[in-house]
Structures are given as structure tokens and as C-alpha cells.
Structure 1
């Protein structure tokens, strides 16, 4: 039996952020089928910790308007990888562009697939410390406000369903459970 994987396909859309492919795929049982796949260059997201990272550090969340969700969402700074850019450099860039802060230390938490049923997008999650304030340089379609929040309160926001963004909830839970415990 042949190995599972792509055996052919067609690009049906190429845009600024994503591409859409119709892939002919051989499945583990040897059968072949067509899957619609969204191709994405990947992204980085960062949990910014303000000041002392003691028992209950302050996390710099953003409250950002998201058209797809038709509302403002609480998130951590994040953005798409530029061609040739490392995930850590992307995390530093997005932190500065969206919040104005630069970090003296950026450490990787882990890498996740967002929705592997139909996209290859990966988000590299980081934690940033030693933040130094500066001037933000947001894109024209970024409407956000900074919301400094104690980590304990952010975790309660996840529990109450107030933080609905998956990368943010997972990064905060991971940081609290594995990096700050």
C-alpha cells in the first residue's frame, strides 16, 4: 500500500493572507479523495508579562475587533509570519506593532495547529518578559485597546467564556500550568 499524502491538486485561490487548494489525497487505507485545504504561512502569538512575573503576573491582553466573530475579542498579540521570518522574530515584531512594547526575553511555549481538518496553519506561541514601553505601529485594519490583566483574572475570563480566542486561551493556560507554576 502507498503512503498517505498528496497525490495531486489544484490551487483555486491565492490571496494576500491565504490560498485555497483542492488536493487529491491518498488516505491511510489506500483510497483517494479530494480535500479543500486553506494554506497559511503560519503565525506567532505572544503572552506579554508586565513587570515582576511572581505568583500572579500582569498579562497585557488586547481587546480587538474581529469581523469574522462580529465582535471585540480578548487576545494576546499575534500575527502572520513574513517570508523568511523566524517565529521568535515574528512574536517580537507583533508585540511591538500591536502594543508598542519590546521584550528583553522571548521564550517559546509550543507550536499548535489551529484547525488541522482544513488548514495547515500553525501558530508558534511564546511568552515575553522584560517589557519596555514604546510606540505601537498597528495596521490600518487593526482596532484594539490594551487591557493589562492579572493572570488569575485572565484564567477566570477563560472559565467564564469571556476569552473566546483559542490561541489566547491555550497560551494563557499553558503559561499558567507549565511556565509559571
Structure 2
């Protein structure tokens, strides 16, 4: 099983679209369109009192606000822990003194290479946010029980956020 050919269809700022031919387990050849993404990091920030700091962010892809954990794209040469430390400061104005890994998740293995590393962020030191011009983010402080209720009610629909909350709840 291996990639036989790869043709770049589109190169963008945050992803590339490629057409690939792969040798399959039965020795047949199949063509796939795959989104190549550098990966990302996300964290569930835990405040000193134990409450969680989620965000409510406008996402043009779904044309709506989404409740989620802070996250960002890996820059070239950046580690997942450095990436999420940068994103936490930019998006919510907190610098974590401690990051604990909750593992990783592939966002959509059927067509995308994006691998998201997930952390718990604690011992938060308040700084300043540095939102990009196209980011519309509001902080949303909740208890773990409330966040889990929001998953059950269909209010938290973001997969990485659901996973982070459930992994944290099972610790």
C-alpha cells in the first residue's frame, strides 16, 4: 500500500488540495482528492477555580458562531505545545504555565491530513489578546458539567472540543 502519484490541484494559504493515486491492499489503484494541512494544536483552558474557558467564534465555513476550545494551525518548525501557547495568548489572553497532553485526533481521515494535538492548559497567567482582523472571538466560561450538557444538547458541535471535554471528564 503506497502512494503512486501526486498532483497538486490547488495551493492555498492554509491548505493544499492534491489528487493522489494509491496502491490499495488488493493491489488495485485508486484515485483520491486529499487536503494537505500542516496540523494544529488545541487546548482546554482550566481557570484557577476549576471552571473552563471556552470560546464562541464566528466560523465562515459554517456561517455561524461555534463554541470551541482555543486552537490554531502549526507554523513551519513549530511544536504543538509552542503553537497552542501562542494561540491561547492570542485568542483568550492567557499564557499557560502548564500543558498536559490529551493526545491527538485526525479531523477527517477520509480526505484530510490534519492532525490536531490536544492539551489541557492550567496555571494560566493573564496577558493580552492579539486577535487577527478576521477573528471574532468571545470568551465563554463554564463548568465541566455545563459543557457536557452543551454537548448533549447539541450546542457544542465542534469535534475537537467534544473530544477534549470528554477526555478531560474521563481523567
TM-score, structure 2 normalization: 0.98
Matched, 1:16 2:9: no
Alpha-carbon shift at residue 69 of structure 1 (Å): 1.2
- Give the corresponding residue for 1:164: 157
Match of 1:86 among 69, 79, 92: 79
Alpha-carbon shift at residue 59 of structure 1 (Å): 0.5
- Give the corresponding residue for 1:25: 22
- Give the corresponding residue for 1:5: 2
Structure 1 gap segments, 5+ residues each: none
Matches of 1:103 and 1:120, distance apart in 2: 28
- Deviation readout 1:16-62 (Å, 9 max, x if unpaired): 0000000011111110011000000000000000014xxxx200000
Aligned residues: 171
User: Which contiguous aligned blocks of 4+ residues in structure 1 show a shift greater than 4 angstroms?
Assistant: none
Matches of 1:63 and 1:119, distance apart in 2: 25
Alpha-carbon shift at residue 136 of structure 1 (Å): 0.3
Alpha-carbon shift at residue 139 of structure 1 (Å): 1.1
Alpha-carbon shift at residue 107 of structure 1 (Å): 1.1
TM-score, structure 1 normalization: 0.93
- Give the corresponding residue for 1:64: 57
Structure 2 gap segments, 5+ residues each: none
- Give the corresponding residue for 1:145: 138
Matches of 1:102 and 1:140, distance apart in 2: 21
- Give the corresponding residue for 1:48: 45
